[in-house]
Amino acid sequence: MGYSVLFVCLGNICRSPLAEAAFREEARRLKLDVVIDSAGTGGWHVGDPPDPRAQAVARRNGVDISALRGRQVKPADFRRFTHIVALDEDNLANLRRLAPPDTTADLSLLLDHVEGREGQAVADPYFGDDDGFDVTWTDVTAGAQGLAAALRSLKA
């Protein structure tokens, strides 16, 4: 069975595109065959590129996210993706409310996949200084590594 992962934050212009990018890099490194996307629970930024500060931190880490565009979570996502990974508890709660009765996706927080960080949120850097995006990149990278390792072990 193939895996598919959807990363979800509020607007899909900061944390979730960074998580998508970090996970793409880790999946590539581990040679995992997995479908990867990101979305927001809100629709304010549908069609918008990631925040310029998110693009900058990704670029500093060797990843180009400029082609990504914001989108909103859809009911079909709960059947299309095997894993829907929220970046904070509020978005996880929203996902649980939005999930149709026939959902097949496993819902989790990204940092649940990092030993000792279970239940923690990836901080939202949107209203802070640029250095908050570096903290977010560190968090999503750790979460991506943990999630990829877990999916790899399930395939073994």
90 is catalytic: no
Q: Does the reported pTM lie above 0.85?
A: yes
Q: What is the pLDDT of residues 123-146, one digit of tens each?
A: 899 999 899 999 999 999 999 999
CA distance 10 to 43: 8
Q: What pLDDT score was predicted for residue 1? A: 57
Q: Which residue has the tokens 């640029």?
A: 130
CA distance 100 to 66: 32
Which one from 88, 112, 124, 139 is the annotated catalytic residue? Answer: 124
124 is catalytic: yes
Helices and strands, number each (H, E), in the chain: 5, 4
Q: What is the pLDDT of residues 65-118, one digit of tens each?
A: 999 999 999 999 999 999 999 999 999 999 999 999 999 999 999 999 999 999
Q: What pLDDT score was predicted for residue 155? A: 72
Domains, the chain, in order of start with CATH, read 3-155 (3.40.50.2300)
CA distance 116 to 9: 21
